[in-house]
Chains A and B, each alone.
Chain A
Amino acid sequence: MGLAAIKDSSNIQLTDNGQLRHFLSIEGLPKALLTEILDTADSFISMEQQSVKKVPLLRGKTVVNLFFESSTRTRTTFELAAKRLSADVLNLNISTSATSKGETLLDTLKNLEAMASDMFVVRHSQSGAAHFIAEKVTPNIAIINAGDGRHAHPTQAMLDTLTVRRHKGDFKQLSVAIVGDILHSRVARSLIQAFTTLGVPDLRLIAPNTLLPVNVDALGLRVFNRMADGLKDVDVVIMLRLQYERMQTALLPSQHEFYQLYGLTRDKLKYAKPDAIVMHPGPINRGVEISSDVADGKQSVILDQVSNGIAVRMAVMSMTMGGQMTQQSDSLKRLGDEP
C-alpha cells in the first residue's frame, strides 16, 4: 500500500486543472490538495463560533445521501454539512440483499439522475462502488464516497488527519499507530494513504496476523503484533472498531483475548508518549477495543473527531461542487468556441 500514486484514478477525481470533482479515495490526490482540504475545513470550523452557521455555497443544489449500508451517524453529519452549505438534502436508505445485482444499482442511479441531483453521497458494502458510480453516472454529478466495502473512507481519513493536525501541528515529526482490524477496515486504508501523502515518517500497524492484509509492509510502514512494541513513544493512537463476526469467521478466538492483547487500557497507553492523543472513528466498543477510562480520559480526542467531521465534509462538498461547475462552464466555453 501507499505505492506510487495511480494516475488513472486521479484522473477521474480531478478536473483538467487539478480541482476536485469527485471525492472517491485519498489515492491519487496530491499533498497540496489534501492540505487545501484541511485548510478549508479549518475555516469552516472557525465558522462554528458564529451565530449564523450557514453559508450559501451550495444554495439551490440538491444533495442526495445514497446509503446502501445504513449508518445514522455518518449520514447525519453529511446531512448537517450539506444543510450548512444551504443545499437541499434528500436521504435515501436503500437496503440491499447480498445478491443484489449491479443492474438495480444502475437503475436506481438513473432514476435519481432524472430528478436533477447535483451530488450523491454514497455508502455501499462493495469495494469500488463509488468508482463504479462515478464512471457510469453522468460526469457532472459530484460523487462523495462515504465508505465503499473495505476500500476507502476518505472523509473519515481527512477528519482524522485534521484532528491530528489541530492537536499536534506538523505531520513531519509524528509517530502514528493504527490498531485493530486493519484487514477489513476502509478507514485504515484511507488513513494509511493520507498519512503517507502528508509525510508522516513513522506509521505503524498493530494487529494479529489474521487481521493484517498481505504486502502491507511495503513503503515504510512498520507492522507489530504486540502493543508494547508498537505503541512505544507514539504521538497518536488510532483504535479501529472490531466487529463481532470476526470471531465467527475464525479470525480471532474471542473478544476477551483481543481486549487482553490489543485493547487500549491506561496501562498500555503508558507505552506511548505522555501527551499522545487517542482516536477512534466510532462507534466505540467499550471493553473490546478501548477501556472506558481511556475513551473518556483527557488524552482522548474522540469527540473532536466528531465535530471536525462536519467541517471536513463541508469542505469536501464545496470543493467538489466548485470543481464540477468549473468543468461544466469550461466545456460550455469550449462548445462556444467551435465554428
Chain B
Amino acid sequence: MSLLITGGRIIDPANRVDTVADIYISEGKVAAIGDQASTFQAKQTIDATGLIICPGFVDLFFYIPEPGYEQKGTVESETKAAAAGGVTSLCCPPATSPVIDSTSIATSIQKLASQSGYSRIWPIAAMTMGLKGAQLSEMATLKKAGCIGVTNMRYPFDNTRVLLRCLEYAASQDMTAFLQSIDLFLEQEGCVHNGPFSTRLGLPGIPETAETVALARDLLLVEQTGVRAHFSQLSTARSVDMIADAQARGLKITADASIHHLLSTDECIKNFNCLYHIQPPLRDKTDRERLREGISEGVLTAISSQHQPHETAAKMAPFAETAPGISGVETLLPLALELVDNGVFGLSTMIARLTCGPADAADINAGNIGIGQRADICIFDPKERWLLSAETLHSKGKNTPYLNTMLKGRVRYTLVEGRRVFQS
C-alpha cells in the first residue's frame, strides 16, 4: 500500500531534516523524501499543507493496565489513545498484574498490541521477580522476549546490595536499567511536595531529599557497575544538577522529565485537586524552571507522558486516598507546544525530545523517519484549537485536569508502518 504525503514541513531531528517536502511511503517504510517522492504514483494521498510531519513520538513511560487492571484501561484502548496522541512507540513499565517478569506476559502484551493494530509496545521488564526487590529476574530471557530494559519502579529492594547485583547483572546482559530514584523512608506517606501548599492543606509532604538522596546512591552504583541507565521522571532542580555533573564526569546516562513536571507546579493541588496527584509530586517553580533548562540544554533528552489511566472511583476520594496518575498521552503534544510558546525550546528541539531523544535512551529503532525506516509518522497542526472532551478523549481513563478545556495543537494523522491508525 503506498501513500504520498504532500506539502508538509518535515522535522526529523535524528536526520537533521527541517524542510517543506513530500514523503512517499511504500510497504510500510519511508521510501523517498523531497523531489524524488513527488515522482511516485501513490494509492493514497494526504495533503499536509500547513502541517508538521515528524517521527511518531516515543514515550518512555506509559502505563498499560492490562493484564490485571482492565477497569483502568486495556492494551487496545490505551494504544488507541497513544495513537490519538501521536505516540507510535511506547515503553510500558511492568506495573501489570502479574508483573512483567516472565516471557508469557511480555509476549502477550506485545501480541495484544499488534492485534489491536495501533501503537507499538516495547515492554520494560521487572528488575526483580514480582517487583519484590529480592530475586533477580531472568533479564536475558526477557530481553529475547522483546523487553528493552528493566526497572524496579518505585518498589523497595531488600537492601542496597540487591540493587547493586541487579545493575551488575543488567550490565552483563546489555539491558538498560530504568531507574526511578526514591528513598521510601524519606517519602513516608507523603503525597505532595513538601512545601507551602502541603503545609497549608495539611497534606503529608515528600521532601526533595526523598529523590536526591536515592539519586546520589543510584548514580554511584551506576558508575560502579557500568550499566546503561536511564533516570525516569525527575522532579527536582537538584536532580538535574546531579545528572549534569555525572554526565560531565563521563557517565553514559540519560534522563527524562514528564510533561506535567515541565508544565505545572505544586500550586495546582491547592484546592485538593486530586487530578494533579502524581508520583513523583509536582514541585515548586524553581524545580520546574531547572527541569525546563535541563530539557532545553539536553541534560534531559526526553519528555515522557507518564500516561496513567484510572477508573473514576480511583479519583473519587479525599486527596491522599486517591490513586496518583494523569491520563496524559492525548495532551502530550499541546502541552509540549506550550513549552515552545513559552520559549523553553524551539519546535525542532521539542520534536527531538519526543522522538530521537527517547529512542536513543531506550536504544530502540524508532523516532526517526530517514529513508528505509518504518513509516511511524505523526502529522500535526501546531495551531489548531480543540476541546478535550469525554468524546474526543480516547483513553479509558478520564483522569486528566485538562478535561473540558481548550487546547492548542492537535494530531491530525498518526501512521504506524504506513497505516493510518488515527485521524482527527
Interface residues of A (CB under 8 A from B): 1, 3, 6, 8-9, 12, 27, 100-103, 105-106, 124, 126-129, 131-132, 136, 148-152, 186, 189, 213-216, 218
Contacts of B313-331 to chain A: CB distance below 8 A: 313, 316-322
Q: Is the CB of B199 within 8 A of A215?
A: yes
On whether A151 and B201 interact (CB within 8 A), knowing A8-B271, A214-B195, A214-B196, the answer reads: yes
Q: Is the CB of A131 within 8 A of B271?
A: yes
A101–B310 Cα gap in the complex (Å)? Answer: 14
Q: Is the CB of A214 within 8 A of B316?
A: no
Give 6 A-B contacts (CB < 8 Å), ordered by A residue.
A101-B317, A127-B320, A128-B320, A136-B316, A150-B203, A213-B198
Chain B 180-214 interface 0/1 with A at a Cβ cutoff of 8 Å (1 = within): 00000000000000111011111111000000000
On whether A102 and B271 interact (CB within 8 A), knowing A1-B196, A132-B317, the answer reads: no
On whether A131 and B272 interact (CB within 8 A), knowing A102-B321, A151-B203, the answer reads: yes
B217 is an interface residue with CB less than 8 A from chain A: no
Q: Is the CB of B322 within 8 A of A3?
A: no
Q: Is the CB of A127 within 8 A of B201?
A: yes
B270 is an interface residue with CB less than 8 A from chain A: yes
Q: Is the CB of B199 within 8 A of A132?
A: no
A144–B321 Cα gap in the complex (Å)? Answer: 21
Q: Is the CB of B199 within 8 A of A126?
A: no
Q: Is the CB of A106 within 8 A of B203?
A: no
Q: Which residues of B contact A100 (CB under 8 A)?
A: 321
- Please give me the residue from chain A that is nearest to B284 by CB atom: A215
On whether A101 and B313 interact (CB within 8 A), knowing A126-B318, A127-B201, A150-B202, the answer reads: yes
Q: Is the CB of B196 within 8 A of A215?
A: yes
For the complex with contacts A27-B200, A126-B319, A149-B202, 10 further pairs of A-B residues with Cβ separation under 8 Å are A1-B200, A3-B200, A102-B322, A106-B317, A126-B321, A132-B317, A149-B203, A189-B200, A189-B202, A214-B196
- Please give me the residue from chain B that is nearest to A125 by CB atom: B318
Q: Which residues of A contact B271 (CB under 8 A)?
A: 6, 8-9, 12, 131
Contacts of B153-201 to chain A: CB distance below 8 A: 194-196, 198-201
Q: How many A-B residue pairs have CB under 8 A?
A: 88
Q: Least Cβ distance of B195 to chain A in Å?
A: 6
Q: Is the CB of B196 within 8 A of A105?
A: no
A98–B205 Cα gap in the complex (Å)? Answer: 18
On whether A127 and B202 interact (CB within 8 A), knowing A8-B271, A103-B313, the answer reads: yes
Per DSSP, chain B at the interface is: loop
A101–B315 Cα gap in the complex (Å)? Answer: 10
- Please give me the residue from chain B that is nearest to A102 by CB atom: B317
Q: Is the CB of B198 within 8 A of A128?
A: no
Number of B residues, CB within 8 Å of A: 22
On whether A8 and B195 interact (CB within 8 A), knowing A126-B319, A132-B318, the answer reads: no
Contact for A102 among B199, B202, B205, B313, CB less than 8 A: B313
- Please give me the residue from chain B that is nearest to A11 by CB atom: B271
A275–B326 Cα gap in the complex (Å)? Answer: 55
Q: Is the CB of A128 within 8 A of B194?
A: no
On whether A102 and B320 interact (CB within 8 A), knowing A6-B270, A127-B203, A186-B202, the answer reads: no
A6–B271 Cα gap in the complex (Å)? Answer: 8
On whether A103 and B316 interact (CB within 8 A), knowing A214-B194, A214-B196, A214-B198, the answer reads: yes
- Please give me the residue from chain B that is nearest to A100 by CB atom: B321
Q: Which residues of A contact B202 (CB under 8 A)?
A: 127, 148-152, 186, 189
On whether A128 and B313 interact (CB within 8 A), knowing A1-B200, A9-B271, A214-B195, the answer reads: no
A136–B317 Cα gap in the complex (Å)? Answer: 10
Q: Which residues of A contact B201 (CB under 8 A)?
A: 127-128, 151
On whether A128 and B272 interact (CB within 8 A), knowing A101-B321, A102-B322, the answer reads: yes
Q: Least Cβ distance of A83 to chain B in Å?
A: 29
Q: Which residues of A contact B200 (CB under 8 A)?
A: 1, 3, 27, 189
A103–B323 Cα gap in the complex (Å)? Answer: 13
A148–B201 Cα gap in the complex (Å)? Answer: 10
- Please give me the residue from chain A that is nearest to B312 by CB atom: A103
Q: Which residues of A contact B316 (CB under 8 A)?
A: 102-103, 106, 136
Q: Which residues of B contact A9 (CB under 8 A)?
A: 270-271
Contact for A213 among B199, B317, B321, CB less than 8 A: B199
Contacts of B345-368 to chain A: CB distance below 8 A: none
A98–B272 Cα gap in the complex (Å)? Answer: 20
Q: Which residues of B contact A186 (CB under 8 A)?
A: 202
Q: Least Cβ distance of A126 to chain B in Å?
A: 4
Q: Which residues of A contact B320 (CB under 8 A)?
A: 126-128, 149
Q: Which residues of B contact A129 (CB under 8 A)?
A: 318
A124–B320 Cα gap in the complex (Å)? Answer: 12
Q: Is the CB of A128 within 8 A of B319?
A: yes
Q: Least Cβ distance of A203 to chain B in Å?
A: 15
Contact for A128 among B196, B199, B318, CB less than 8 A: B318
- Please give me the residue from chain B that is nearest to A213 by CB atom: B199
A129–B313 Cα gap in the complex (Å)? Answer: 15
Q: Least Cβ distance of A325 to chain B in Å?
A: 25
Q: Which residues of A contact B203 (CB under 8 A)?
A: 127-128, 149-151
A106–B318 Cα gap in the complex (Å)? Answer: 10
Q: Is the CB of B318 within 8 A of A124?
A: yes
A12–B273 Cα gap in the complex (Å)? Answer: 13
On whether A102 and B270 interact (CB within 8 A), knowing A151-B202, A151-B203, A214-B196, the answer reads: no
Q: Which residues of B contact A216 (CB under 8 A)?
A: 199
